[in-house]
Amino acid sequence: MKEHCDHQVDCLKMIQLILDGEATDQQLARLKANLVSCQPCIQMYHLEQEVKELLTKRMEKKCCPEKLVATIKSKILTFS
Amino acid sequence: MATIPEVMSDTPTRDDQDRSGGPAGPDQILPDGDPVEQPSADTPARRYTDEQKYQVFNKEFMPHIDSMYNFAFRLTTDEDDANDLVQDTYLKAFRFISSFEQGTNAKAWLFRILKNSFINDYRKKSKEPAKVDYQDVETTYNSEDAESEHTVDLRAESVSDLIGDEVATALNSLPVDFRTVIILCDIEGFTYEEMAKILDIPIGTVRSRLHRARNLLKEKLRDYASSMGYKEESEE
């Protein structure tokens, strides 16, 4: 297991692409290899995944107030 | 009838100017793989009957209203401003509905209008603290030195206990351009290509801005994590 990674910045960029679903098959294959052999890559992967999850799942999703929906709908009707 | 020039005068952003050819209205969001057909002032707008307009509005635009409100709230960080921004955006979308092509990405089209309206009308009066000049930040974070420091000094276990409010505060403290890419990508799930169209920037810029935004965000989260008692193993 590698304790030190010389390309951390590039690996981090690759990890983000993969978590965003924007990576190529080649990048995916490289990550898979790193995830069994490179300690820093494993840590970065878990951290990026955790932060992304915080944003997608833990932050409150504000819903549009009903009143605003009604206002918009009524304003539209006066347009034509 | 000058629908498109009107859109322009409504949204005269710097971003809008740098696309070559054709005026930049919200009409530039096109479906993937579509021939890039830029409607211009000379092209007659799509003609919808009144009934069709309401139908498009209700079926294609209204389903996105919660996402739009959430986006507006995350940008303005204020409920009243979010209300105004969403209302303006929807009224604008209805007024320029003839430049929306049915079956194309309505959500991206609406997000683009909202983001332009925000830049023009709300950013100026926004109360967000600590305005940071985007160029400064971008330059600072461009250097590899700066980046390498930010890669591993926060651990997954230390952020797993953070709560939504802390994440929101950390996100709000980012300069708006950085905040925007994170919202679009991580909260709304847009692809890089859609983000490029919404923001009028090349995909490469989306990628690098997102990367820097996340490094900044992790730095903010690290502050919360350490205030909760997590220590960095290596340093102390």
Q: Is residue A14 part of a domain?
A: yes
Q: Is A2 helix (H, G, I), strand (E, B) or coil?
A: strand
Domain extent at residue A60: 7-79
Q: Are A12 and A48 in contact (CB under 8 A)?
A: yes
pLDDT of the residue at B125: 65
Window from B117-131, B179-193, B213-227 with minimum mean pLDDT: B117-131
Please give the average per-residue pLDDT across B138-148, as a whole number.
53
Burial class of residue B24 (count of CB atoms within 10 Å of its CB; 0-12, 13-18, 19+): buried
Query: Phi and psi for A38 in degrees, rounded to 5?
Result: -125, 110
pLDDT tens for A40-76 read: 999 999 999 999 999 998 899 999 999 999 999 999 9
Instruction: Report the domain count for chain A.
Output: 1
B196 contacts chain A (CB < 8 A): no
Give the containing element (helix H, strand E) for B75. Answer: helix B65-76
Closest approach of A32 to chain B, Cα-based (Å): 19
Give the mutation candidate from A47, A53, A78 for the B interface (greatest B CB count, under 10 A): A47
Q: Is residue A75 part of a domain?
A: yes
ipTM of the complex model: 0.92
**Chain A residues inside the 8 Å CB shell of B189:** 56
What 8-state DSSP symbol labels residue B27?
Answer: G
Q: Is residue A31 part of a domain?
A: yes
pLDDT category at B11 given cuts 50, 70, 90 is very low
pLDDT of the residue at B1: 35
Specify the amino acid at residue B18.
D
Q: Is residue A2 part of a domain?
A: no
pLDDT category at B129 given cuts 50, 70, 90 is very low
Query: In whole numbers, what is the pLDDT of chain B averaged over residues?
Result: 75
Cβ–Cβ of A51/B66 closer than 8 Å?
Answer: no
Q: Is residue A25 part of a domain?
A: yes
Q: Is residue A1 part of a domain?
A: no
